Amino acid sequence: MPPDAHLPQLREALLAWFAAHQRPLPWRINYTPYEVWISEVMLQQTQMERGVSYFTRWMARFPDVAALAAASEEEVLRLWEGLGYYSRARHVLAAARLIMEKHKGVFPSGLEDIRALPGVGPYTAGAVASIAFGEKLPCVDANVERVVARVFDLDGPVKQEPAASAVRAWALRLVPEGRAREHNQAMMELGALVCGKKPRCALCPLAAFCVSLHLGIVDQRPVPGKRAAITPIEVVTGVLRHTGRVFVQKRLASGVWGNLWEFPGGRVEPGESPEQAVAREFGEETGFDVAVDRSYGIIRHGYTTYRITLHCFALSLAATTAAATAAEPPAPPILTAASAWRWVTPVELENLAMPAAHRKLADQIFGPGGQSRLPGA
DNA sequence: CACTCGTGGGC
DNA sequence: TGCCCAAGAGT
């Protein structure tokens, strides 16, 4: 059964399935370019369910490009906190300001103009152009790669050539005239709900057209690519408290968690205890001479290719420090790994964007609303 | 092309 | 539990 001759039937089966089974989602109501754009960026490498609450909060606060462009990066990052890949948030803000300046506040409709926005790559440009503006273009994400690799039985890793080009070619051929919006969402929805990691072929509207299913090798498609090795690392962080306030610093713009606020810390060196490491790292990053008062325990988390064990400690200014017993702020820190610093109250901490592990620690110490749950405040 | 850049769900 | 991985982009 050559799939080429059955493309019209395949398209119709897919569209019918989508009409019956699509999930009701907040960005499937108005289809404004702004909403499509924000939803697509939020959903990059993110599970759909998680994106819904973020999207709803975002639209309540930033209902249009102008509102976003006028916002501070601090607030944008705070709303993005927990979604990860924070350069997406910084790019979205930069793009909104670019739209205000170069496009007079009107979201650009041309593919090239959309693609030129910061943080908009091949996928997102095609998604906005087709879903918001109806352009006859495919959206090739991981879902589409998986669906195409199975239906057309591609036998190479879909992230690499030549399979990557084959996926794009098939994806383009599949797009029906005048219905790119529904079709592209249907392909991704099918990949999410039916043609997932564990395919549910009995429920699939494309089963009759699926080559790898007929060959009995669906479980061998798509062909997986190389995986990066996971590196375990031991890390420490310290919560330095003084007269009811907590010390935080703002990470540099480049690198992981760029421009987010954190408790200082760093890696445990070989032969070093976590207690020794936190005092050393805190001193290196701030110039403060600190004493380790107690442990807050361990938080495990991972990012990209790292698996982190985070040892958390309560710190105070060392007795040798003049300000240790004084009821006034100590001398300013000498920052070596951050662009800014603050002594904040637990309530103020709520308004700062922090990495997930540090937010988890803050909530553990001060409570989700900033009320102290542990002695020593 | 290969690497960086987060996070939490699911199995 | 440990590991895979999800509506990718930038360098």
Average pLDDT of span A289-316:
94
Contact between A143 and A187 (Cβ < 8 Å): yes
Count the neighbouring beta carbons within 10 Å of the beta carbon of residue A15: 16
CA–C1' span, A350 to B7, in Å? Answer: 19
Annotated catalytic residue: which of A40, A135, A281, A285?
A40
**pLDDT for res A143:** 94
Strand B within 7 A of A356 CB: yes
Is strand B less than 7 A from the beta carbon of A198?
yes
Bases along strand C below 7 A from a protein CB = 3-10
Which residue places its CA closest to the C1' of nucleotide B7?
Answer: A84
Three-state secondary structure string covering chain A: CCHHHHHHHHHHHHHHHHHHHCCCCHHHCCCCHHHHHHHHHHCCCCCHHHHHHHHHHHHHHCCCHHHHHCCCHHHHHHHHCCCCCCHHHHHHHHHHHHHHHHCCCCCCCCHHHHHCCCCCCHHHHHHHHHHHCCCCCCCCCHHHHHHHHHHCCCCCECCCCCHHHHHHHHHHHHCCCCCHHHHHHHHHHHHHHCCCCCCCHHHCCCHHHCHHHHCCCHHHCCECCCCCCCEEEEEEEEEEEECCEEEEEEECCCCCCCCCEECCEEECCCCCCHHHHHHHHHHHHHCCCEEEEEEEEEEEEEECCEEEEEEEEEEEECCCCHHHCCCCCCCCCCCCCEEEEEEECHHHHCCCCCCHHHHHHHHHHHCCCCCCCCCCC
Tell me how crowded residue A62 is: count the other CB atoms within 10 A of its CB.
Answer: 22
Tell me what pLDDT residue A227 has: 79
What average pLDDT does range A213-236 have in this prediction?
90
Shortest CA to C1' contact from A88: nucleotide: C9
CA of A358, C1' of B6: distance in angstroms: 13
Which homologous superfamily does the CATH classification assign to the domain defined by A3-220? Hypothetical protein; domain 2 (1.10.340.30)
Q: Is 50 exceeded by the pLDDT of residue A284? A: yes
> How many angstroms is C1' of B4 away from CA of A181?
32
- In this prediction, residues A331-342 reach a mean pLDDT of 96
Residue A24 — very low, low, confident or very high, per pLDDT cuts 50/70/90?
A: very high
Instruction: Please give the CATH number for the structural domain made up of A231-366.
Output: 3.90.79.10
In tens, the pLDDT along A177-198 reads 999 999 999 999 999 999 999 9
Arithmetic mean of pLDDT, A361-371:
87
pTM for the whole structure = 0.94
Per DSSP bridges, beta strands A245-251 and A261-262 are antiparallel
Domain residue limits, chain A: 3-220, 231-366
The whole-number pLDDT of residue A367 equals 86
- Is 70 exceeded by the pLDDT of residue A325? no
Check whether residue A28 has its CB closer than 7 Å to nucleic acid strand B.
no
The answer to whether residue A13 scores a pLDDT higher than 50 is: yes
Asked if strand C contacts A63 at the CB level, meaning under 7 A, the answer is no
Is A40 noted as a catalytic residue in this protein? yes
Q: What is the pLDDT of residue A377?
A: 34
| From A89-98, A104-113, A275-284, A295-304, the region with the lowest mean pLDDT | A295-304
A86 strand B contact, CB < 7 Å: yes
Q: What is the structure's pLDDT at A229?
A: 85
By C1' distance from the Cα of A123, the closest nucleotide is: C8
The CA distance from A31 to A89, in Å, is 21
Q: Looking at the C1' of nucleotide C8, which residue has the nearest alpha carbon? A: A44
Give nearest nucleotide to A359 (CA–C1').
Answer: B7
Q: What per-residue confidence (pLDDT) applies to A322? A: 60
Residue nearest to nucleotide B3 (CA to C1'): A228
Predicted local distance difference test score (pLDDT) of residue A3:
60
Nearest-CA residue to the C1' of C7? A43
Measured from Cα to the C1' atom, the residue closest to C4 is A197
> Mean pLDDT across chain A, nearest whole number?
93
Q: Contact, A52 vs A26, CB < 8 A?
A: yes
Confirm whether any atom of chain C, the nucleic acid strand, is less than 7 Å from CB of A230. yes
Residues 99-158 of A with CB under 7 A from strand B: none
Q: Residue A119's pLDDT is what?
A: 97
- Nucleotide nearest A87 (Cα, C1'): B5
Q: Which pLDDT tens digit goes with each residue over A129-176? A: 999 999 999 999 999 999 999 999 999 999 888 999 999 999 999 999
Question: Any idea what the Cα angle at residue A292 is, between residues A276 and A302, rounded to 5°?
Answer: 65
A97-118 per-position pLDDT tens digit? 999 999 999 999 999 999 999 9
For the record, the structure tokens of A139 come out as: 């959206």
User: Which strand B nucleotides have any atom less than 7 A from protein CB atoms?
Assistant: 1-9, 11
| Nucleotide nearest to A355 in CA–C1' terms | B6
Q: Which pLDDT score is estimated for A324?
A: 61
Burial class (CB in 10 A: 0-12, 13-18, 19+), A170: buried
Q: Is the CB of A157 under 7 A from strand C?
A: no
Residue A237 has pLDDT above 50, yes or no: yes
Question: What's residue A30's pLDDT?
Answer: 95
Whether the CB-CB separation of A41 and A121 falls below 8 Å is answered with: no
Count of alpha carbons within 13 angstroms of residue A205, beta-carbon side: 19
